[in-house]
Amino acid sequence: MSNPQGPFLDRLKRSLGEARRFASWLRYDLRDHPRLALYARRQNRINQRFFARIKEAEEAGTAPHLAVHAPADPVPKTLWMYWSLGEAAAPPVVRHCVASWRRLNPDWDVRVLDAETVSDLVDLSDVPDVLPRRYTANMLRLRLLKQHGGVWADATVLCHRPLDDWLPLHAMTGFFVFSDPGPDRWLTSWFIAATPGHSLTIAWEEAYTALVTALRRKPVPYFVLHYSFQNRVRSAPDLLAAWQRCACLPATPTLLLMAALEDKLPLHAASDAIRCGLPMSKLSWKSAVEPARMEQALRDITQTRS
């Protein structure tokens, strides 16, 4: 016959043990390191709840905490770029960047759109005419990825590594960007990879559309595209969880080459990063660097990568 007092005694022992641990925490941890002790205790509760859910799932024969990181549908092998006047009229740095994507990604469909061809793919008629051209380009990238998926790359992004070498791993959740370009921004918008209809792309496009279509003059914040993403995601727990699962790469190393071309860094700082696996660099067609010097440096970088 089982002892009816057994469960009661077990609960009592656990309660006494917890009381002793709490008294020790009050006496030592909280007294000696109050701010850290409070933070660590709060984080530990999150950890305990997380592992309790894992244990319940394992008893049911599932692993939902790993399933959300399993590869999603692959990102379509279409790379979208845009130059309003057309590729033939683009400056040399843009043509060099476009050529780098085609050379290193021969089995990708690299599509350079212009002001006339975009209407065949997405409707941008709701963007007010009073806004600068970048608002149309911003809307274009979001709507292309929302509807068709693939990769968006600004016309001044130089490719160093084939997409197939690294993107499938980093875009396993169906969404990839470079992150933390500045203290105010979580992400960049000059390179985005997404599967069609991804929740983050949909939310971003809807938030930006709601903002842009109501504008009657240019807003002051230049990075309002990025802020619209952050404001939308942080207010929705499911979107925030999806964002936190994304395997982003830091944006800062992609700026090394442009800084070297402007004599702010030695060129080997950029070439060393490329040898270490940097997949691309963000350039600028507005730079004061002499076009001939930039082209020679880009040729040297290409030979270094080869």
Tens-place pLDDT, residues 161-209: 999 999 999 999 999 999 999 999 999 999 999 999 999 999 999 999 9
Q: What is the pLDDT of residue 34?
A: 86
**What is the rounded distance in angstroms from the CA atom of residue 111 to the CA atom of residue 89?**
16
Report yes or no: 266 and 260 within 8 Å, Cβ to Cβ.
yes
Q: List the beta strands (DSSP E) in the chain.
A: 78-82, 109-113, 150-153, 157-159, 175-182, 185-194, 249-250, 280-282
- Structural domains in the chain, CATH included, are 16-52 (no CATH), 78-305 (3.90.550)
The 10s digit of each residue's pLDDT in 132-145 is 889 999 999 999 99
Residues 277-286, buried b or exposed e (16+ Cβ, 10 A)? ebbbbbbebe
Report yes or no: 138 and 225 within 8 Å, Cβ to Cβ.
yes
Report yes or no: 251 and 185 within 8 Å, Cβ to Cβ.
no
Query: Residue 2: is its pLDDT beyond 60?
Result: no
Residue 262: helix, strand or coil by DSSP?
coil
**What is the rounded distance in angstroms from the CA atom of residue 27 to the CA atom of residue 173?**
45
Q: What is the pLDDT of residue 4?
A: 58
Structure tokens at 7: 């469960």
Query: Residue 158: is its pLDDT beyond 70?
Result: yes
The 10s digit of each residue's pLDDT in 35-76 is 888 888 889 898 989 889 888 888 888 887 777 777 778 999
Supply the angle between the helices 133-148 and 199-212 in degrees, to the nearest 10: 150
Q: What is the pLDDT of residue 205?
A: 98
Structure-token match 């057994």, residue found: 6
The 10s digit of each residue's pLDDT in 70-121 is 777 899 999 999 999 999 999 988 998 999 999 999 999 999 999 999 989 9
Residue 127: helix, strand or coil by DSSP?
coil
Q: What is the pLDDT of residue 291?
A: 67
**What is the rounded distance in angstroms from the CA atom of residue 68 to the CA atom of residue 133?**
38
